[in-house]
Each structure stands twice: as structure tokens, then as C-alpha cells.
Amino acid sequence: MSLPTRLYCGAVLAAMFLAGLELYAQPAQLLVDADHRTAISLDGTWHAIVDPYGKGLYASDGSVLQHGYGENRQPKSKADLVEYSFAKSPTLQVPGDWNTQRKDLFFYEGVVWYQKDFAYTPKPRTRAFLHIGAANYRAYVFVNGTKICQHEGGFTPFDCEATSVLHGGHNFVVIAVDNTRLRDGVPALRTDWWNYGGLTRDVSLIDVPEQYIDDYDLHLQRDTTTGIAGYVHVQGASAGEPVVVRIPQAGIVRKAMTDASGRAEISLHAPKLELWAPEHPKLYRVEIQAGSDHLSDEIGFRTIEVRGTEILLNGTPIFLRGVSIHGEAPIRGGRPTSEKDDETLLRWAKEMGVNFVRLPHYPQSARMLRLADRMGIMVWEEVPVYWAIEFDNPLVLTKAQQQLHEIIRRDRDKASVIFWSVANETPVNPARNAFLESLISSARAQDGTRLVTAAMLSSMHGNEIQVNDPLGVYLDVVSFNEYAGWYQGSADDVGKIKITSIYQKPLLLSEFGAGAKAGFHADVQTRWSEEFQANVYRQQLTMLRGVKNLRGICPWLLVDFHSPMRELPGIQDFYNRKGLISDQGQKKQAYFVMQKAYLQRTVGNAQ
């Protein structure tokens, strides 16, 4: 049996095993377009218990307790022993990470229990779901003392059905969040970003009809500017149920019927459609109706494809002028929790002249993607298959497939997303190759309208950087990282380096750059000075002008961010300092080097 076959069979068994663990609680689900549903927000102040030994969650053998602190027990008499109390515990804000809310939790990794009271009025013929935008890394969800679901994966949304356990009046929810790093996790034990724990994105309660729209996909067909195709799936629908799709501004109304599985195929003719592009980010209001359920979305229509060595947007060659952006809030740090956080980051990028951003290493919020849609910024999204994970472990493949599925399902309606990335800087070996080939096939099967890539390592030999990772055979765009002048060679020699690729495909430089402490000035030979960083960027731009088939560049990165691997006192202080902007919003000299290159179009041979 070949390695890919063994991994596939192992992943199927792993999925069955995980399903078995859920017998006593419904598995987490995923409501499509949850941010457009009417919801009761549960954001705000939650009581929190720090549980470093996982006493309230794990039994002595390491198994997960069915109730634990999720029961929110109260003493029944003066003599009753209950060794925890949410009511007497301090509070944390949701959404938010616990690391930046309390100094004593800055380095904390482990279990924190969250609890909140809320009022609810049940409605007839409806189902209720608790929606969690993200919880890092594992979450166990209880409503009124009953465990309703659990979820693994720190950056993707999930929904837990709570219909049967809610009642009129007072209710309470308890969520145990455990951000302990796992050898068989995705990501695994080592990351170059902070392991922020907690309920890091919005939490809400969503009511839907008994039959509800649980998935849809509407996209512009390739090789046409007038044809929209896709489907709508209605949970609980039988064959012959009507589904109506409207795009009022385009004068489109189309009725279709569900099949026996609840799926209705959609095909629309739109002769006067305005296409989404960075210079014209047109969005249409799309309305979907199925029985008593209604959804409304804002969707842009465009095509993205590869032809030879070109990347084509709406049939026209483009050059991607990019920058990477970590999911860290500007100025205050921690996870972004508001539209202001995300808008600030994208505005700084836009002011630099970008038409593209890489959101690296893990999925960011749906809000970030909505903003990119409106601002006209193309996006690379990535699952956290990062560095050396357990590529030969079928359970890990199952976890990666789950996270890929969740992010594709959430963001398939976002015109800004042009890339699904399956990995970053992974070591070349047969197990890794088979693992990533499986993820690539999965991405294409779930969404054939976008490009698939991965940020690969490059190798330097003398004055030549070679792009020859065997994974490139399977990718639409060959993306690679290099740090000439910082980790590879000296800054003075960067301009003399050649970059070569064994692939006749579009090349995308997904990372390059150097570190600098904002405000530290010296000559161009002094590492960590703004002048040193700016010089590396100038030399890189000279080198990149001669790279054949280069169709985009993406400096690392926009803003300094927290990292436990960056310890140098007085310089890094647990920050990765490769940002073009400091964590406090100071623009370094290199920012203006890139801004000039982008605004004057002095890099890239396809504009």
C-alpha cells in the first residue's frame, strides 16, 4: 500500500475515531454566512476560572470529563463542598485573548473556563445554535450543564446546536478553552507567533428555521463574464422544495428545486455584471430564500486562473503587490477583536500601494475578509500546517482537512480570496509530500474556482537561490520564501543573487525581508537598524527585477508581532521585528522603500 493510500485510509479511521468520541455530545457544525444571521450577541464580560492542571476538565487518565465545571454547580447546603465558583471569579472580555488582558496570564498555556448568564425566549419551529467565531485551541461547550459539543482548531468558526437544552428565561453557557500545544496538533509544538488562548472571536446565539440554508456557493464561471453557477443546500428539505436566488441590482431572479439531498443547482445568466477587481471592488447584494429562511450576502464576482506563467484576474494578467499581515491587533497587541483593528491593518497596507495581502499561517476573522472585499484587496488564506508537524500521522491529516474545510466553507463567498494555501515552510520528505498532496486535492475538490499554493522553502547555492521543492508540481502558483541579506548571505551581495525555478509556472515570492527596531538608526551595515533593513529591501528589489516568471511579491511583513522565539533584550523583547511598521504604528524606512516601488510600479513585469 502506497504512503498516500495509507494516509487516506488512516485519516478515514481517525475521523471515525473522533466521531466516536462525540457520541455523548453532538459534533460541532458550521453555519454558512453566520455573520449575516440575526443573532443574540454573547460578547462582553464573562466570568473565568484559570485551571492550570485541567482539574475541572480532564479525569486522572487524561480523558475529558462529561460535565466537570461545565455544570456550574452551586452548594446545596452549608456543608456541601464545591471547590470552584464562577460568580466569585474574576472576569475576561470576549472576544479577546487572555494573555493580553491579565499580566499574570501573558505566558499562560492551559485551561481557562468561561461562564456567562443570558436570557432566552424559545421560538416555535426553530433551532438554536451557539456560534463561536474562534477558540484557541480546543473548546468544550456546555449549556445549562449539558455538554453540547467540542471543537479542535484555534482559528476556524464552529456552531453547537443548543435547541434541546435551552429554555425560556435564565440560561447559562460554560466553555472550557485549552490552548496547550500538542505534538499531534495543527499547528504543532513550535510556532513563530504567540499562542494566544481564549474565546478570541465573537460568540453569539443564532436561531434558524427547522429547514434552513446551511450552505451555498455562487461564483462566476471561468471563461465567461456572464455566467454564474453554484448551488444552495437546505438542511432538512426534501425533494422539490423551492429555492429562490435574487440579485436585485443585476435584475436577476432564479427559482430552482431541491433534490432528495436538499441541494438545488443554480445557473444564472448575468449579461451586464460588473466584475470585482482591486480598482473596482463591486459587490452585489444576493438574496437567497428557502421556505421561511432568508439569507442576504454581499458578493463580488470575478475569475482567477493561471495560464502558462501568468496569473489572470478576469482574464487579464496581474502582478501581485503584496504584504503579509499577522492576526495581531495594532498598538495594543493581542488578537484583533474589532473592525477598527482590522481596518487599521488593511489601511496601512493599502497606503503602501498593495493590491494583495497574505494572511499567513492561520485563518483570520471573517470580518477581515469582508473588509478586504470592500477595500479591493486580494487575499491569500492559509491553514496552520506550519514547519514540522506529524506528517505521517493520519489523525493530524484529519485535523488539517477539517480546518481546511471549515475555512473554505466560511469564505467561499469572499471575492477577495484568490489563494488557498495548504502549508508554510515544511520540510521535504515523502510523508510531507503525500500529506500536502492530499490537502491540495481536497482544496480543489471543495472549491475549483480559486488557486492553490503553499509557501515553500528555497535553497541557496553560492549566488543562486533555487526553487525546486517537489511540491511545486501540484500547485497552481509556485510560492517560496527567501531571506537573502538577513539569514542568507550579506546585504551587500543581495543584488548579485539570481533566483531560478525548475517550474514553468507563475512564481510568487511569499516572504522576504529583514528585522529592524523602530527608531534605532545607524549605518547600513548595523543589523537591527532601520537603515540596515531599508538597504536589504533596496537590494532585494534590484534582484527581483531580473526574476523570470515572477508574478508577485509579499514582504515579511507589515507590522511587528509577538513571538515567544524572539527573546533578544532591548531589540526584540518577544517581538518579531521584521515589520515595516512597529507594533506601536511607527513606519520604518523600509515601509517607504516598498511604498515607492509599489506606487511607481518599479517592480513586476505585469501591471
Residue range 287-321, pLDDT digits in tens = 999 999 999 999 999 999 999 999 999 999 999 99
Asked if the model's pLDDT at residue 15 lies above 60, the reply is no
Quote the pLDDT of residue 162: 98
Q: Provide CB contacts within 8 A for 251, sequence distance 6+.
A: none
Work out the angle at residue 359's Cα, subtended by the Cα atoms of residues 577 and 113, and round it to the nearest 5 degrees: 85
Quote the pLDDT of residue 548: 93
The CATH number of residue 48's host domain is 2.60.120.260
Q: Which range (11-15, 99-103, 329-333, 492-496) has the least confidence?
A: 11-15
* Structural domain span for residue 243: 222-302
Q: Which range (97-111, 213-227, 559-573) has the least confidence?
A: 213-227
Write out pLDDT tens, residues 340-379: 999 999 999 999 999 999 999 999 999 999 999 999 999 9
Phi, psi (deg, nearest 5) at residue 367: -60, -40
Work out the angle at residue 488's Cα, subtended by the Cα atoms of residues 487 and 490, and round it to the nearest 5 degrees: 100
Quote the pLDDT of residue 10: 52
The CATH number of residue 522's host domain is 3.20.20.80
Sheet strands (E) in 96-136: 111-120, 126-132, 135-136
Instruction: Determine, yes or no, domain membership for 405.
Output: yes
Do 553 and 428 share a domain, yes or no? yes
Across residues 155-161, what is the average pLDDT? 98
Instruction: Determine, yes or no, domain membership for 575.
Output: yes
Do 339 and 277 share a domain, yes or no? no
Do 199 and 268 share a domain, yes or no? no
Do 52 and 76 share a domain, yes or no? yes
Quote the pLDDT of residue 17: 41
Do 252 and 335 share a domain, yes or no? no
Counting the structural domains of the chain, the total is 3
Write out pLDDT tens, residues 379-426: 999 999 999 999 999 999 999 999 999 999 999 999 999 999 999 999
Do 118 and 185 share a domain, yes or no? yes
Do 293 and 328 share a domain, yes or no? no
Instruction: Determine, yes or no, domain membership for 527.
Output: yes
Quote the pLDDT of residue 25: 53
Asked if the model's pLDDT at residue 201 lies above 80, the reply is yes
Write out pLDDT tens, residues 563-581: 999 999 999 999 999 999 9
- State what percent of residues in the chain have pLDDT above 90: 90
Across residues 538-549, what is the average pLDDT? 94
Paired strand residues for 306: 311
**Cα 569 to Cα 519: distance, rounded to the nearest angstrom:** 16
Write out pLDDT tens, residues 421-480: 999 999 999 999 999 999 999 999 999 999 999 999 999 998 999 999 999 999 999 999
**Cα 269 to Cα 286: distance, rounded to the nearest angstrom:** 14
Instruction: Determine, yes or no, domain membership for 203.
Output: yes
Across residues 131-160, what is the average pLDDT? 98
Q: Of 278, 302, 326, which residue constitutes the final position of a domain?
A: 302
Quote the pLDDT of residue 7: 55
Instruction: Determine, yes or no, domain membership for 435.
Output: yes
Mean of pLDDT over the chain:
94
Quote the pLDDT of residue 26: 63
Write out pLDDT tens, residues 121-139: 999 999 999 999 999 999 9
Q: Which range (13-17, 72-76, 346-350, 510-514) has the least confidence?
A: 13-17
Q: Which position has the grid cell 481596518?
A: 343
DSSP track, 480-528: EE--BTTTBS-GGGGGG-EEEES-SS-EEEEE----B-TT----TTSTB
The CATH number of residue 231's host domain is 2.60.40.10
Instruction: Determine, yes or no, domain membership for 170.
Output: yes
Q: Of 209, 242, 268, which residue constitutes the final position of a domain?
A: 209
Residue 427 burial by Cβ neighbours in a 10 Å radius (0-12, 13-18, 19+): exposed
Q: Provide CB contacts within 8 A for 91, sequence distance 6+.
A: 45, 46, 47, 48
Do 438 and 574 share a domain, yes or no? yes
Instruction: Determine, yes or no, domain membership for 186.
Output: yes
Quote the pLDDT of residue 606: 42
Q: For residue 579, give the DSSP letter.
A: -
Q: Of 209, 233, 268, which residue constitutes the final position of a domain?
A: 209
Residue 22: pLDDT band (50, 70, 90) is very low
Residue 222: pLDDT band (50, 70, 90) is confident
Do 275 and 402 share a domain, yes or no? no
Quote the pLDDT of residue 604: 72
Phi, psi (deg, nearest 5) at residue 291: 60, -125
Instruction: Determine, yes or no, domain membership for 472.
Output: yes
Residues 216 and 32 sit within 8 Å (Cβ to Cβ):
yes
**Cα 212 to Cα 240: distance, rounded to the nearest angstrom:** 15
Asked if the model's pLDDT at residue 146 lies above 90, the reply is yes
**Cα 168 to Cα 183: distance, rounded to the nearest angstrom:** 43
Query: How much is the pTM?
Result: 0.95
Asked if the model's pLDDT at residue 241 lies above 80, the reply is yes
Residue 200: pLDDT band (50, 70, 90) is very high
Across residues 92-106, what is the average pLDDT? 98
Do 269 and 365 share a domain, yes or no? no
Do 196 and 245 share a domain, yes or no? no
Do 154 and 237 share a domain, yes or no? no
Across residues 114-122, what is the average pLDDT? 97
Residues 555 and 578 sit within 8 Å (Cβ to Cβ):
no
Write out pLDDT tens, residues 45-85: 999 999 999 999 999 888 999 889 999 999 999 999 999 99
